[in-house]
Chains A and B, each alone.
Chain A
Amino acid sequence: MHERIREKLSILADAAKYDVSCSSSGSNRKNTNKGLGDATGMGICHSYTEDGRCVSLLKILLTNHCIFDCAYCVSRKSNDIKRAAFTVEEVVDLTISFYRRNYIEGLFLSSGIFKDADTTMERLVRVAKKLRTEHRFNGYIHLKTIPGASDELMHEAGLYADRLSVNLELPTERGLKLLAPEKNRADMIKPMGFVSNTIISLKDERKVIRSTPKFAPAGQSTQMIIGATPESDFEIIKTADRFYKDFSLKRVYYSGYVPVLEDSRLPSLASQVPMLRENRLYQADWLMRFYGFNASEIVNDQTPDLDLEIDPKLSWALRNLAVFPLDVNTADLELIMRVPGIGVKSAYKIVAARKYAHLGWESLKKLGISVNRARYFIVCKGIILEKKDHSAEAIRHMILGTSHSKYAKLNVIQTSLF
């Protein structure tokens, strides 16, 4: 009995791990009347795997039986692997027992599609419902939406889950046709639209009727596999930007393709996981969400791919040297955030601290900014560190000369992939 549940967990956690979302933040579920758990504000990463990824939620599949045969997926029908399925009770017991020991923030439940979309979705919803109603569980629940599930089931899912997500799987419809011909994008977009509309309409309703139930309070997110199909970064960022705007997504995740299967349509099993490119895409995503950048400022027809050697913010700055140097003691917050080497928090600190006295290099260093990078783009009180007007190329070389990318050795291999 014990051995069987351990085997199931190993199989179904292994199959779920390629879904990269681990977020447990952004909800507002309080622990009322002495139930179990809460999901308010900041999420917590309870551990980190040896690949350095955060472990915040119990991330498992309900089953890895699947009727689809998507080329990139380890659980595809034609793949000869061990299959398993949890019962609803087993998932509930694991979630509660892990949660009570402070191992996790909650549950991230996904599933192979084992009969049709609605049957699968119904089973996922049943787990969430049991946790919320029978166990008075207020921890975080992230349910994967099964493309093509009915509006009724989506509505019920939203009542119990904190976050819902549909994976776009691949950045373009073209890519999807190639690798997952049984799926179509319309089936993915439909539930996304339903969730986004329901969130908006219930928000309005809540202004009038305060007891309006919560509906997916942590919003929805999606994921795209990067590097399985030959899209440019421009196409990827364009897709992300559109989904952020059209469906108010909380997050778009970029999952560097991990070669798990031999298939003529896919990069070979020997190819590297494109971790550096994935990292650059996240940096670009951050620039859009927190730094006030437009997608077209980061990648466009002239520069369709992100520079792997330098980060997208530095890359933007070098293309726009006319904006610099800025005086940190007078420039607007929005512009200070655009300086390479200064993060959002440091930018706020600079603006707060300069009210007391003008800041010099020493103070900036103590605030945690990277003077090595910022020196080419700012002036402040005291000595001028860079007297010459350097060219973009010169600055690039000087910065690369003083910093060591942790991905340096991956660089060469990845640029030549396609």
Chain B
Amino acid sequence: MIYLEYDNSFEGLLTAIFEIYAQKIPVAHIRKTGYATPLLFTETLIIATDDQKAERVWKKLYDLFGKKGVRTLWKAWLSEDEDIDDLILETVRYGIELKKNVLSDFGNIHVIHLQQLVKSVGREKHRMEAFVRFQLTRDGLYYAVISPDYNVLPLIAPHFESRYADQRWLIFDSARKYGIHYDLSSTEFIDLTPNEMMRNYSPVPEALGEREDLYQDLWNDYFRSTNIPSRKNMKLHTQHVPKRYWKYLTEKTPRF
């Protein structure tokens, strides 16, 4: 049994798929560096990411699955699911074997599993577009921190860029320790080194703009006033806003 180990980049995964076909490896598993592989009867092949090889696989997949299809594979990959690399490999193999876009073959166990992950990732993307809460800092930056279940920052960046085109903003993923920053001209991925103006990746009160407090109070007032107590339904409430997201939501955080 051969395990191909790659460097956690999508190009790395494509390079691994390239090697499986180039070296005609019949039974293979793909793993990200750092994930456990079985100790016995396995052979590990370390993959060096190669942009040209990745490009060739990308082209092949593009021909086979179309633009939307390749994006589907990428979205599935952003789930960071333990089995996602193998699932993508099996789906690609199945497509190449049948010489067609098999992504709507929901009767196939690999395809349906992959599509379920795509759905979960899509749902998390949509949630983050909803649950980001910007706080305006003293120096005019709209800042938000999130820790999504999946690696969705690359997916939400275009939405925020087109919506908030006239304000500087930064969304930080505290689980994966990177962020996206928009500076009025373009959006870049950035690392962040917290200083004394931050605590747990959130700005301390002194770092916030003068009227920030007022608007947060107003939003909380609004949230409470728009509720109809005689229709109270906490089960439905937590189904839509699961508790793990509450810590980032202004309206779900007690104000003092």
Chain A contact residues, CB within 8 Å of chain B: 2, 5-6, 9-11, 13-14, 16-18, 30-31, 34-38, 42, 44-55, 58-59, 94, 97-98, 100-103, 136, 258-259, 273, 275, 349, 352-357, 359, 363, 366-367, 406
Contact = CB atoms under 8 A, between A and B. Distances in A.
A349 B111 CA distance: 12
B218 A9 contact: yes
Contacts, number: 158
Contacts of A352: 104, 106
B22 interface: no
Nearest to B236: A52
A6 B217 contact: yes
B106 A55 contact: no
Contact of B164 (A14, A100, A359): A100
Contact of A36 (B129, B167, B214, B239): B167
A354 B133 CA distance: 43
A165 to B, nearest CB: 18
The 10 closest A-B pairs by CB, nearest first: A52-B236, A51-B231, A13-B225, A353-B106, A49-B227, A48-B240, A52-B233, A352-B104, A356-B105, A34-B165
Given A42-B126, A53-B228, 9 more contacts: A10-B221, A10-B225, A46-B130, A47-B223, A50-B234, A51-B232, A100-B136, A103-B250, A352-B106
Nearest to A17: B226
B251 interface: yes
B231 A36 contact: no
A192 B11 CA distance: 55
Interface in B207-229: 211, 214-215, 217-219, 221-229
A42 B102 CA distance: 27
B223 A2 contact: no
Nearest to B135: A101
A34 B166 contact: yes
B107 A55 contact: no
Contacts of A94: 218
Contacts of A2: 214, 217
Contacts of A44: 126, 129-130
B8 interface: no
Contacts of B104: 349, 352-353, 355-356
Contacts of A97: 211, 215, 218
Contacts of B166: 34-36, 136
B235 interface: yes
B218 A102 contact: no
A51 B231 CA distance: 5
A55 B223 contact: yes
Given A44-B129, A47-B223, A258 B106 contact: no
Contacts of B218: 5-6, 9, 94, 97-98
A357 B234 CA distance: 43
Given A102-B134, A352-B104, A51 B219 contact: no
B3 to A, nearest CB: 28
Q: Pick the most buried of B133, B228, B229, B233: most chain A CB atoms within 10 A of its CB.
A: B228
A353 B107 contact: yes
Contacts of A136: 166
Interface string B138-152: 000010100000000
A59 B226 contact: yes
Given A6-B217, A48-B240, A14 B163 contact: no
10 contacts: A9-B222, A17-B225, A30-B162, A42-B126, A44-B130, A51-B231, A51-B233, A52-B236, A363-B112, A367-B106
B195 interface: no
A180 to B, nearest CB: 21
A349 B103 CA distance: 11
A103 B166 CA distance: 17
A36 B167 CA distance: 8
Nearest to B184: A34
A357 B167 CA distance: 51
B106 A102 contact: no
B244 interface: no
Contact of B142 (A47, A100, A354): A100
B237 A50 contact: yes
B132 interface: yes
Q: Pick the most buried of A13, A48, A273, A275: most chain B CB atoms within 10 A of its CB.
A: A48
